[in-house]
């Protein structure tokens, strides 16, 4: 059996950087038609903008906010065959700002699905199209902001008895109300009676990822509080993108990728807050390596750190050829 079925990860996930123009701007070079695009100004204190093909263009939600979905005609205006077009709003296209976008293609072979569902207020199963067990599920109530409805995150390393908040620094919540204390399967995931995952009569967006060897991985490590000799996390690929959160500590989420500005000085950005990109050398949280990453910050001893990672290329291709470090 081949090590991986995905030799060219850039056909399914891609970080695309662009410069804001202040006028309608067709961003190309993504290499596919995105199904989900997550945008942030690297320069300006501003919201993250999340758009997907299921809710439709101009339908905006923010990973840093509990706000309900709004219609913003000048945010992301279209998904295109090689990228997307943004309008005049500053959050997506402020003139001369350095902009960041993370883009995923919806494809069961690459382990990504996006869907909406209606809450019932009681235990229900939600069908998905991954044909594999999801390792990560991110859910948001898009109809209402009151009471505050946080983003909720299922991670396989936590299990179905706990959830994180994407928009918060908070530690994990251990409550069966989010996922019904029921692990997802290759066809469904379960929600129970939390208003943040299953309020009766309200609509939810869900993003689901399943791990694919050589392309994506979702796991955890225990902190050792040693930035000079941090842990090495084996992925089996050279990472193009990494999202990390402590499950046990009050910390920001942090994301890094191989495009900003490159390997082993990886400027972090925090999807739960509006801050601009941190560009000091001390903002580099990890070294991205040919087959994984090395932690270079003082994580807390024995605190569980969760991660989500996508490949630039696999450590070994489907034909058995090793990939080389940069």
43-99 pLDDT per residue, tens: 999 999 999 999 999 999 999 999 999 999 999 999 999 999 999 999 999 999 999
| H-run or E-run covering 91 | helix 90-93
Question: How sure is the predictor about 325, in pLDDT bands with cuts at 50, 70 and 90?
Answer: very low
Question: How sure is the predictor about 297, in pLDDT bands with cuts at 50, 70 and 90?
Answer: confident
Provide mean pLDDT across the span 304-312: 96
pLDDT at residue 323, rounded to an integer: 57
159-188 pLDDT per residue, tens: 999 999 999 999 999 999 999 999 999 999
pLDDT at residue 285, rounded to an integer: 80
Distance CA(84)–CA(280), nearest Å, equals 30
pLDDT at residue 326, rounded to an integer: 45
- How far from the centroid of its chain's Cα atoms is residue 79's Cα? 18
* pTM for the full predicted model: 0.95
Nearest to 133 by CA among 85, 86, 79, 189: 189
Contact 30/38 with Cβ under 8 angstroms? no
Beta strands in 47-119 (DSSP E): 49-52, 59-60, 70-71, 76-80, 83-86, 98-104, 112-118
pLDDT at residue 315, rounded to an integer: 64
Q: Which residues pair with 102 in a beta bridge?
A: 15, 38
């Amino acid at each position: 059996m081949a090590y991986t079925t995905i030799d060219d990860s850039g056909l399914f996930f891609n970080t695309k950087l662009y410069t804001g123009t202040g006028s309608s701007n067709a961003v190309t070079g993504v290499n596919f038609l995105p199904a989900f695009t997550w945008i942030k100004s690297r320069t300006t204190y501003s919201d993250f903008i999340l758009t997907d093909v299921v809710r439709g263009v101009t339908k905006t939600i923010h990973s840093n906010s509990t706000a309900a979905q709004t219609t913003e005609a000048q945010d992301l205006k279209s998904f295109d065959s090689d990228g997307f077009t943004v309008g005049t709003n500053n959050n997506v296209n402020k003139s001369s700002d350095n902009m960041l976008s993370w883009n995923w293609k919806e494809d069961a072979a690459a382990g990504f699905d996006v869907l909406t569902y209606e809450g019932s207020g009681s235990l229900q199963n939600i069908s998905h199209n991954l044909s594999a067990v999801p390792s990560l599920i991110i859910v948001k109530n898009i109809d209402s902001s009151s009471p505050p409805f946080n983003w909720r995150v299922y991670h396989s390393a936590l299990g179905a008895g706990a959830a994180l908040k994407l928009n918060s620094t908070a530690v994990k919540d251990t409550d069966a109300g989010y996922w019904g204390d029921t692990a997802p399967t290759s066809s469904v995931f379960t929600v129970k009676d939390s208003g943040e995952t299953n309020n009766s009569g309200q609509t939810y967006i869900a993003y689901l990822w399943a791990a694919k060897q050589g392309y994506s991985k979702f796991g955890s490590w225990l902190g050792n509080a040693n930035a000079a000799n941090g842990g090495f996390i084996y992925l089996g690929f050279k990472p193009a993108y990494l999202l990390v959160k402590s499950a046990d500590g009050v910390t920001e989420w942090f994301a890094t990728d191989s495009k900003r500005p490159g390997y082993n000085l990886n400027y972090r950005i925090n999807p739960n807050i509006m801050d601009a990109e941190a560009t000091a050398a001390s903002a580099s949280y990890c070294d991205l390596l040919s087959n994984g990453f090395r932690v270079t910050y003082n994580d807390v001893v024995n605190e569980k750190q969760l991660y989500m990672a996508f490949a630039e290329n696999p450590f070994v291709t489907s034909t058995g050829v090793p990939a080389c470090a940069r």
